Structure 1
Amino acid sequence: MERCERKSYSHIFILKFGAFHKFKYLCKMRLVIQRVSRASVTINGKVKSSIEKGLLVLVGIAPKDSAEDVEWLAKKTASLRIFDDEQGVMNRSIQDIGGEILIVSQFTLMGDCRKGNRPSWINAAPHSIAIPLYEAFCERLSALLGKPVGTGEFGANMQVELVNDGPVTIVMEKPLPIPTP
């Protein structure tokens, strides 16, 4: 009998033909999306980008992420209904309200703190993978909105200021495929 279960310590074990096969759990691109009344990112004392009503999106990219992940998350972000309609119900998207988006890369979203007291960054993609995917995500969201998005600077030490509206904060990842035995 084949069995698959995900252990709490982020490994997938598949019992196959009476033996355990251990596979490293694959992390995927992770977003922290905050509904804001305003936000800005400053680098070396100078404001690089700022927005008014809209979304601040923090982006963490994993080594196995792909253009497919970028496309799925960009579409989901653009259509996420977290803005109030006339009845005060979260029923409108950033596209519906004509809001702005500020996108900031943040590899620390991929940090793993389960062992010890210092986070492990093994789940964060190297620059050679992360930069093109980050840029593609920014370009795709800009295309979906029909206007430029604000950005931080990949790999820079940035100061992010925001006024979280609500507060509304969503953590989003593309679901992993379920392993088939």
Structure 2
Amino acid sequence: MKFVKRLLVITAACAMILSLASCGNGDSNKATDTMKQTEPTSASDSAVTNEPSASDEIGNNVDDVKKQAEAIEESRESLRALIGKASTLSSEEDIAAWGKEFSDIKNDLEEKTKTLSDTIANAPEEYQESYGKISDAATAAYDAMAGFESAVTSAVSGDVSEFKSKVSDFLGKMGDADKLWDNAEVR
């Protein structure tokens, strides 16, 4: 039995060597013919080999969530810089310009949060809890901004005192959102 196995291995090795040797002289297409035999024979065969595996889809989903979380973090950094200016505003014009920038960041964050939520909805079940924390943090930041927007609108209309009184409340809510964000991570 061992003799037969060795003979088969030696025969297969010789066949491979001969087919490789025939590639070099250009006289024969035997190596090409051999390769054609291993190609898929039907459209369904090639479709099966080109589909991403479940692990690829999970990896792509994790990458998507990471990219979206990074994009939200960029918006949050812009917001932090803007919040730093809030307590120094004193005129309606300053608040109006600040409010425009605030509104742009809020709208950007809303769009990014929706995109993140959609991606999370398509995530594998084992990632839902982890991803949910990221979504909750982004939503908390957006909700805090949406609640503060009325104070910005009032200030632009002439009630600067309401704006000043709401800044600390808003900063507290953003601090809560930051804590949620710090506890959320993509595996």
Q: Identify the TM-score tier after normalising by the shorter chain.
A: under 0.3
Quick check: which one's strand share is greater?
Answer: 1
Quick check: which one's helix share is greater?
Answer: 2
Q: Which has the higher contact order (CA 8 A, sep 6+)?
A: 1
| TM-score (normalizing by structure 1) | 0.23
| TM-score (normalizing by structure 2) | 0.23
When Rg is computed on C-alpha atoms for both structures, the one with the higher figure is 2
